[in-house]
Structure 1
């Protein structure tokens, strides 16, 4: 044990660390694996994505996760065994990927594993006033550490919850450290299952950053496509949405949900934005007979509207909007956002040195780096406000190999 602690201390003193970031999102498309070379820490952090791959999940993996995913009532034994099984599956994917890249495990300083979210329950969503914000990610880090032989950090969201946060989104910290710019206001938009944004005002400190989940990203479209077009995981190239037409009555019913009127910061997940959410809106708007393509086109428009309405109050002239996540590959969604925000410079995060598909996995690698090697920060020119304090903490549980 002492040797492991001394080895950890040595990693903390190194000027550079090689960290593998893992991210498995709510879309369940695959495990993002980003090999990151990270120098320094805090505002002096320099991060380079050396390698990246998404290892596609098998149907068995998807089916097992979906059996417990975003459900209030599940088989507790299934949750328990999947916690171990997913950790082992992720470990096998890491081992194979490192082998394919020709990299030995001994060359990796640590793994940063987000785990697989199966339920996100901020208080505004669970409605239990005497109980705190909560979230649950499975895929135990000790299984990953043991099977890979690599120090693993996992369960990043729990410290944020413990300190009074909602456990999400955690991108605020990494976005501030990597992408703040003294001359330009930047907005970082990630469109995964849920869409979240980070607003980085020019010359602003950490206390000036605004971050939160704006609403559904790909999740509603993906779920509806899977329901109506078996064998398809998502609307590739917006093919179904382009065939359909937006139904204004359905769109209005969908957008009536109070979540959209809440100001940032806020968090949500597929526990709210799911098929029941869509079917309920169809019943209320009497649009049950609308074609599947029309519904998908309407869900595409809903996602765009939620994003645009969240960005517009922040969109100062000549601000830069950088997009990452799977939604970047939906041409109809991108065109709608671009047309609605002509005053912004819009590009992929690749333009600022971050591969768009690797961003979330890389940001968890950054959080692991801060946990191991970081020190206390004042986060630029602004002192950290009380409601932002959770983001100033070291996040992640350390699992020794």
Structure 2
């Protein structure tokens, strides 16, 4: 088969086997999901064939963290990481194919989010003009040529070119997978950052609302590393041994980000080391010095900021029938218990109750976004990002 015929078949195909790759702001590693996709929009059918998580080597994690901060980033290191991450993504694709017992020849497409190192969603002056932008590294063209498989990456820039925030992008997946004819659903993903999708009953794309509520696991993970030498709080056990300080929590909830109405998005540049340092300074001033009380307070901040966002910006128009949670935060029992308390009597459930691995959801999302690009379907939701109109997301990179 000639190369043009191969690409024509890829476009014409109604079903595709796709690997979705996600590495998030928590910097814990790469999620890879192998899915079979057929159809489009709310007629999309998804079958998850395999899922793996590959942790980042500590040396790489340190480099990524350093190069996510403007004061310590290096152009040279960013260039090196751009290629090194593509190598690691290729290894993750091979590993998930092996897990499924599939050969590379059976793979049609890869969708890769890339690693966000900086996100500037608000207009910022640059050489005499205001721009918005975002940077995800892990070059999709390198990945395509390492694998010999077409790759779609760099999903956010097209939306930002049209005045959008470029985030969140998971709401399209929420729309096609979770929309219910009679239930209004909240979809909460708790990664490094927490984002909330509002799905009215029998929603159309323009009915969907979503935004980043604030920190998810990011601050909890950083404090667990600082106090306990652990990359995260396992099952929320450190927080369970402490008590949130209500005065400190109330002060934190007055942060300008929490008070800003949607659309909005955020990342490590806002809820990173500087925010943690300010938190520790406030905690010291208020006498909150016990490490368990501090991590309990930050855990409560994640839950309370989600509920505060719902109460301020969602509840009056679209009261939830259920809140469905995914991402690493679903394993934090203390955090989940707090969400249940805040949202009561609204039930709080895991996406596993709906037939989806909570850890695989974001990787599945980027498989879907890549699949829909080849279907010619716009996957940004202007009602979510603030873009002027729908557009196709992602750059298609073809190997020789």
Which of the residues 260, 263, 277 maps onto 2:261?
263
1:65/1:118 contact within 8 Å kept:
yes
Partner of 1:34: helix, strand, or coil? strand
Shift of 1:112: 0.4
Kindly tell me: are residues 4 and 393 of structure 1, through their superposed partners in 2, closer, same or farther at Cα, counting changes over 3 Å? farther
Q: CA deviation at 1:38?
A: 0.5
Which residue matches 1:245?
Answer: 243
2:117 paired residue number: 118
So what's the TM-score if we normalise by structure 2?
Answer: 0.92
* Deviation for aligned residue 1:364: 0.6
CA contact (8 A) 1:254 1:278 kept: no
| Aligned partner of residue 357 in structure 1, secondary structure | coil
Partner of residue 340, structure 1: 342
* C-alpha displacement of 1:11: 1.4
| Offset from partner CA, 1:143-177 (integer Å, 9 cap, x none) | 21111111111111111111221111011222112
Does the C-alpha gap of structure 1 residues 292 and 251 become closer, same or farther in structure 2, counting only changes over 3 Å?
same
- Measured in 2, the distance between the counterparts of 1:376 and 1:253 equals 41
- What is the DSSP-based 3-state SS (H/G/I as helix, E as strand, rest coil) of the residue aligned with 1:356? coil
In structure 1, the partner of 2:390 is 392
Name the CA distance, whole Å, in 2 between partners of 1:152 and 1:377.
Answer: 17
Deviation at 1:266, TM superposition (A): 0.8
Distance 1:378 1:302 in 2: 29
* Residues 18 and 107, structure 2, Cα contact 8 Å, conserved in 1: yes
Q: Are the structure 2 counterparts of residues 127 and 235 from structure 1 closer, same or farther at C-alpha, using a change threshold of 3 Å?
A: farther
Tell me the residue number matched to 2:233. 235
RMSD: 2.4
C-alpha separation in 2, matches of 1:358 and 1:150: 21
- SS of the residue corresponding to residue 392 of structure 1 reads coil
Cα distance change of structure 1 residues 7 and 211 upon mapping to structure 2, 3 Å threshold: same
1:27-106 to 2 correspondences below 5 Å: 27-106=26-105
Contact 1:123 1:131 in 2 (8 A): no
| Contact 2:164 2:385 (8 Å CA) reproduced | yes
Is contact 1:21–1:113 with CA below 8 Å preserved after alignment? yes
Higher mean Cα deviation, 211-220 or 318-327?
Answer: 318-327
In the alignment of these two chains, the number of paired residues is 394
Secondary structure in 2 aligned to 1:71?
coil
| Structure 2 residue ranges without an equivalent (≥5) | none
In 2, Cα distance between the equivalents of 1:101 and 1:204? 34
| 2:113 counterpart SS class | strand
- Secondary structure of 2:181's counterpart equals coil
Q: Give the corresponding residue for 2:197.
A: 198
- Alpha-carbon separation, structure 1, partners of 2:95 and 2:380: 40
Equivalent position of 2:183 in the other structure: 184
| TM-score, L = length of structure 1 | 0.92
Partner of 1:358: 360
Q: How far apart, CA to CA, are the structure 2 residues paired with 1:92 and 1:131?
A: 39
Distance 1:225 1:21 in 2: 29
How far the C-alpha of 1:65 sits from its partner, in A, is 1.1
Shift of 1:223: 0.8
Are the aligned partners of 1:68 and 1:75 in contact in 2 as well (CA < 8 Å)? yes
For residues 91 and 84 of structure 2, what CA distance do their matches in structure 1 show?
11
Residues in 2 aligned to 1:6 and 1:215: alpha-carbon distance in whole angstroms: 46
- In the TM superposition, residue 385 of structure 1 has moved relative to its aligned partner by 6.1
Does the Cα contact within 8 Å between 2:165 and 2:265 map onto a contact in 1? yes
Whole-angstrom distance in 2 between the partners of 1:72 and 1:40: 46
Which string of whole-angstrom CA distances, capped at 9 and with x for unpartnered residues, describes residues 328-376 of structure 1? 0010110111011123232111222322111101011110011011346
> Offset at 1:216?
0.3
Deviation at 1:91, TM superposition (A): 0.8
